[in-house]
Structure 1
Amino acid sequence: MRINAVSWYNDFIGRLVQCRACPRLVSYRESVKPLPRFMNDDYWRRPVPPWGDLGNARIMIVGLAPAAHGGNRTGRMFTGDSSAQFLFRALYEAGLSSKPYSISRNDGVTIKCVYITSVVKCAPPNNRPNNEEIHTCVSNWFRYELEHVRPRAIVALGHIAFLGIKLALGIKAEFKHGGYIDFNGVRIFMSYHPSPRNTNTGRLRIEDLVMILRMAMEYAGC
């Protein structure tokens, strides 16, 4: 992000958290019941804000959507669930995060050169937004983020994140884990999503994600 980054970000978040454009997502995010270990937590249950190094965000990391008991609980993207812990272990090993975890908005973690966001801003049922919801979020929010952050490199975490990026930029390409494409001076790197389905089976290994992050760092000059 460039000049007036904090001002733009604060205005963006102020509008984002009030969004009720997708009835199915609004109903789901507000009805999620706390897991037993989170019974005392005050769930966020709103569109989940992105976050990062607002003054020097050369890399944009893009996920699918907030997790029901992750971002939808904590109020910060990639925070408080197993996918977040895998991502932050990789960010830490790559030298982009001050700590190898992301637990809460008050955990003291700082990230450098990175802006973390999602294509869809509300937790979807079964982690599956429908096409209309993806298009709505890309049109209303994600495309606007890309225009203001202006990253040098983008890391797409999974097929749907990559789909959102393609919709926002108006490009055609196929998802390939470990691959990348160039568009108007921006390099878009592709990785499987760090979900338990991928990480517990070894489909995505920590060293794979660290390698992709380091390639993004080199290209972006971080």
Structure 2
Amino acid sequence: MSFTDLEHEIIGCRKCERLVAFREKVALEKRKSFMDWDYWGKAVPGYGNSNARMMILGLAPAAHGGNRTGRVFTGDKSADFLFKCLHHVGLANQPNSDHRNDGLRLDGYITPAVKCVPPGDKPTAEEKDNCEPFLAEEFNLLNRLKVVLGLGKIGFDSCLKFVRKTHPFKMKDYKFGHGVRYELPNGLTLFGAFHPSPRNVNTGRLSFEMMVHFLEKVKKELE
């Protein structure tokens, strides 16, 4: 399977009835400030460099971000924060991620563990399981991958679950936290970071300085 084939398969997926209903409801009703937008309203594939050595693995598209623009971490406050940090350390060519044709280039590959926006940002266990084959195929296609950056516990755990299928281990031995680093049995290095959500940023749990310092460590791993 090629990245193009995988992208088409993801975009056409309607397996989770709850998620399909919610993503389409959001796309129909829209947010007042985006009434002139033609919302994407479908599953959102990953994007980036097919020869990437780094994967950034998040939770799911935002209701009025990825679900609106058709690109994950695009057009929402989490994206604003993340790409400001990525650009600062030289991992992205610009500090903003606004829409699919904005010229953004990323030194890596970024994808959500769950490809559709879930109500309340909380996918069910079944919904996460339904998306696992897509993520597994992304891992398989990225044959130069060296580092995975799990943004939030779901992104972090999704990487562990993929690796555990071929290299059994206990999940409890790999605890999530901001700045944690693990060498995984399959040779990948997994980093954990707090998700750049407005909740984490506005409460001070995650600052620009914290994320930049963390990303500089990740970048050194790629050198």
> TM tier, shorter chain?
over 0.9
Deviations 1:116-166 (A, max 9, x none): 00100000001110111111111x201111111141001000011112112
Q: Which amino acid aligns with 2:218?
A: A
Further displaced range: 207-216 or 145-154? 207-216
**Cα distance in 1 between the residues matched to 2:134 and 2:98:** 25
Whether the aligned pair in 2 keeps the contact of 1:59 and 1:217 (CA below 8 Å) is no
Q: What's the counterpart of residue 189 of structure 1?
A: 191
Give me the identity figure in percent: 43
Unaligned ranges ≥5, structure 2 = none
Question: What is residue 23 of structure 1 aligned with on the other side?
Answer: 17
Look up the match of 1:59.
54
The number of aligned residues is 212
Q: Distance in 1 between matches of 2:125 and 2:156?
A: 13
Q: Is the CA contact (8 Å cut-off) linking 1:189 and 1:212 kept in structure 2?
A: no
| 1:141-198 C-alpha deviation (Å, 9 max, x unpaired) | 0111111114100100001111211221115221121111111221100000000000
Deviations 1:86-116 (A, max 9, x none): 000011001011110100011111112x100
Partners of 2:139 and 2:63 in 1: CA distance: 25
Q: TM-score, normalised by structure 1?
A: 0.92
**Which stretches of structure 1, 4 residues or longer, exceed 6 Å deviation after superposition?**
none
Which residue, 126, 129, 144 being the options, matches 2:137?
Answer: 144
Letter in 1 for 2:175: E
Structure-2 separation of matches of 1:72 and 1:19? 14
Q: Please report the RMSD computed on the Cα atoms of aligned residues, expressed in angstroms.
A: 1.2
Contact 1:62 1:156 in 2 (8 A): yes
Q: Which residue of 2 aligns with 1:48?
A: 44
Give how far 1:212 is off: 2.0
Matching residue's letter, 2:121 = N
CA–CA separation in structure 1 for the residues paired with 2:187 and 2:211 = 22
> Which residue, 113, 122, 125 being the options, matches 1:119?
113
In structure 2, what is the Cα distance between the partners aligned to 1:154 and 1:27?
Answer: 31
